[in-house]
Structures are given as C-alpha cells and as structure tokens.
Amino acid sequence: MSGFVRDIQAQVPLSVDDREAVLNLPFRLRRMDPGSYLVREGSLPAQCGVLVEGFAFRQKTTGEGARQIMAVCVPGDAVDLQNIFLDISDHAVQMLTQGVIADVPRAALQELVLTRPGVGRAIIQLTLVEASILREWVVNVGRRDARERIAHLLCEFAVRLEVRGLAADHGFELPMTQEQLADATGLTSVHVNRVLKGLEADGLITRQRRHVSFGDWRALQDAGDFTRTYLHVPGVDELDHAF
C-alpha cells in the first residue's frame, strides 16, 4: 500500500498514526492483463482496488454502442473510491496495460475513512480532485476542438505522471492506442491520427511508437488551453521549471 500512501500524501500529509493505519490495511495482490475488468457497470464490488502498477481507465458505453472514456487511472490511484460508498457501479473500469491491483476489503477502508478524520479528509480530497478532473473533461470534450482536446489530454497526462515521478524528461510513454485516445476525447481514431500528425508537423511533439516527447512544452500547453490548476497539485510547478 505504500504507493497508495504516497499518492495520498501527495495531496494531504497524514499523521504517523493515520499512515500506519492505511499501511496496515489488509490487501491481496492480483496481476491483471490489458483489457481485463476491475469493475463492471452495474456490479457491486466488495473490494476497493488500488492500482499498484500499470494503467487503467473508466469507461461507459452508450445505447448505440459508442464508448466514452471518462478517466485514466495511474499507479497509486484508488480505483474504487467512486464506488466505495455507493452500491451500484455506474461505470466500468478496465486495465489499459498489464498491471498489479491491490484489493482492499471495502468495509475496512470504509471504516478507516469514517473513523479517522485524517484519513477521511485525505480520501475526500482525492475524490474531489477526481471530480475536478471530470469537470475539466466535460469542458474539454464540450468546448474545445480536436487539436485542443488532444493537446490538453497530453498535457494532463504529462503533469499527472510527472507529479508521481513517472515521466521521463521531456516525454512519457503514452499507454493508449489512438482508438482509446479517440474514446477519451469524443473523436474518431481516424481524426486523432490526423491531429497527432499535425501536432508533430508543428513541432509540438515527437512520437516513436507509444512514446511521446514534447518538442515545445509551452506551445503544447497553449495549443491545449491547458492550465494545471484543476489538478489541484500542491507545490511548485516542477515540470514547467524543467523546460
């Protein structure tokens, strides 16, 4: 659970006791393949999964069968906070890559959250940050054009990974296919491809396989109308400094 704790503490400091309590939470590790489900729509999970390794995403399917991705989970994220106090999952969570999940019994985590104010506060904050990201996604998909959407998504990813020390200098491994990128931005994979080539042609990014590097971080942020406020990352703007 140490990744989870690090993740929590990136948001709020925990007291020694609270930290111990979280670290002592019982859990069971599970190795997951890409595409496997962590949560299914309509199910009632008895566990709250914490992503130890690998990436996952939240997803819903419309009546017509179109898919929309509403969130990408990175290592350290608690995947089921959204469900822990609700009884029916309104969306599915699926692995993006291979990875490892730590399953924590729902009841144990619930109790910790409700009885330890420090933990409660921390978990609530994590939930609220997720909601903030969702709001930004509504804006992204509702009011930005294709190029802005993609650029914005890339920026968000870069910052979130960087904060956890998962991004190499000037770039990162993007664990999504162009089709998944399309499902996250409300576009077509065909169009995503054209936009990516456009960003590359303009020198904002370079790509080799799934690896994306920022040719011009400042310009990419401008192209994506990106400001990191909504991520509620405490502390300085390290990524900006690095460029």
Partner DNA sequence: CGTACGTTTGATCTTTCTCAATAATGGTGG
Partner DNA sequence: CCACCATTATTGAGAAAGATCAAACGTACG
53 binds DNA (CB under 7 A): no
Structural contact between residues 83 and 89, judged by C-beta atoms closer than 8 angstroms: yes
179 binds DNA (CB under 7 A): yes
User: Which residue from 79, 114, 112, 111 is spatially nearest to 95, judged by alpha carbons?
Assistant: 79
Structural contact between residues 32 and 23, judged by C-beta atoms closer than 8 angstroms: no
**Cβ nearer to a second copy, comparing 68 with 97:** 68
54 Rama sector, left if φ>0, alpha if ψ -120 to 50, beta otherwise:
left
Per CB under 8 A, the list member of 31, 40, 135, 194 interacting with a second copy is: 135
What's the distance, CA 53 to chain centroid? 13
Task: Please state the closest distance from residue 29 (CB atom) to a second copy, in A.
Answer: 26
User: Which residue from 83, 100, 109, 88 is spatially nearest to 36, judged by alpha carbons?
Assistant: 100
190 binds DNA (CB under 7 A): yes
Per CB under 8 A, the list member of 30, 106, 144, 170 interacting with a second copy is: 144
**Maximum Cα–Cα distance for the chain, whole Å?**
54
Task: Please state the closest distance from residue 122 (CB atom) to a second copy, in A.
Answer: 9
Window of 5-13, 77-85, 143-151, 215-223 that interacts with DNA by CB under 7 A: 143-151
Alpha-carbon gap, residue 147 to 201, rounded angstroms: 13
105 binds a second copy (CB under 8 A): no
Tokens 């920022």 -> residue: 214
Window of 22-30, 55-63, 153-161, 190-198 that interacts with a second copy by CB under 8 A: 55-63
Counting residues that bind a second copy (by CB under 8 A) gives 48
Tokens 């690896």 -> residue: 211
64 binds a second copy (CB under 8 A): yes
**Cβ nearer to a second copy, comparing 29 with 138:** 138
72 binds DNA (CB under 7 A): no
**Cβ nearer to a second copy, comparing 52 with 104:** 104
Burial class (CB in 10 A: 0-12, 13-18, 19+), 149: buried
Per CB under 7 A, the list member of 29, 189, 211, 237 interacting with DNA is: 189
**Cβ nearer to a second copy, comparing 52 with 204:** 204
Give strand pairing partners of 62.
none
Q: Which residues bind DNA (CB under 7 A)?
A: 145-147, 177-179, 186-191, 193-194, 196-197, 207, 209-210
